[in-house]
Structure 1
Amino acid sequence: MNANAPVDFQQHYLSTWTEPNPDQRRHIIEQLWAPEGKLVISSLGITLRGTAEIAAHIARVHDDMIMSKGLVFSYDQQLPADDALLLRWSMAAPSGDVVGRGVDVVFRNADGQVTTVYMFMGVN
């Protein structure tokens, strides 16, 4: 794995959540995720399958957390391991105060597409 690949990937992955244009965001999701991708969100106890379900969930999060509340998401730690990448993220209020943290463990196929993400919220 190229040393720059995780950083490039994390920026691209973050844009699936933060891109303001819904059509562009959906396009990024369809490029980045494998069609049969799976997003498991521990705190909600849900598993989303396929890019349509994943895109719908991300759209709700974007509207509820980013647009409505002005929260800013960023990655502050990444650890690559073969086909997996751990991304620790922080969620900051408009004041700059961190109001939440979590970890995404991202698995990718040989083509670099996301196959599975395990999302854990409430991580310090």
Structure 2
Amino acid sequence: MLPPENRLRRREDFATAMRRGRRAGRPHLVVHLCDQLSAQLRGATYPHPAGETPSPPRAGFVVSKAVGNAVVRNLVQRRLRHLIRPRLNGLPAGSLVVVRALPGAGDAAYDQLARELDAALARLLGGVRP
């Protein structure tokens, strides 16, 4: 389980991350990251004003019915939540991350999801491993 301060809950936060952020796609995952740099590159306002202390990085997950039935979707979401938790420390403060599972994610092994998540985050962070 993610700590409450690291969870994305509001629809607006998900929309901000997916529309204003950068994304990296992998065979089973798409990772969206919205940080101050990506928001400025797109000419958008960053969700946290400059004078305000940025909140810790927050993560959310999108696992649609295309991934599988409820049991499979919950399994994929638990795996992704477990994978993202230690990687949050390597993300910029105040960043928003949305991990979207693609239809094959239900059949993917845990290690494969971990490699794909690491590769996507490394690409979004400019080659720096989280």
What TM-score comes out, normalization by structure 1 length? 0.33
Choose between structure 1 and 2 for higher RCO, CA contacts under 8 A separated by at least 6 residues: 2
Which is helix-richer, 1 or 2? Answer: 2
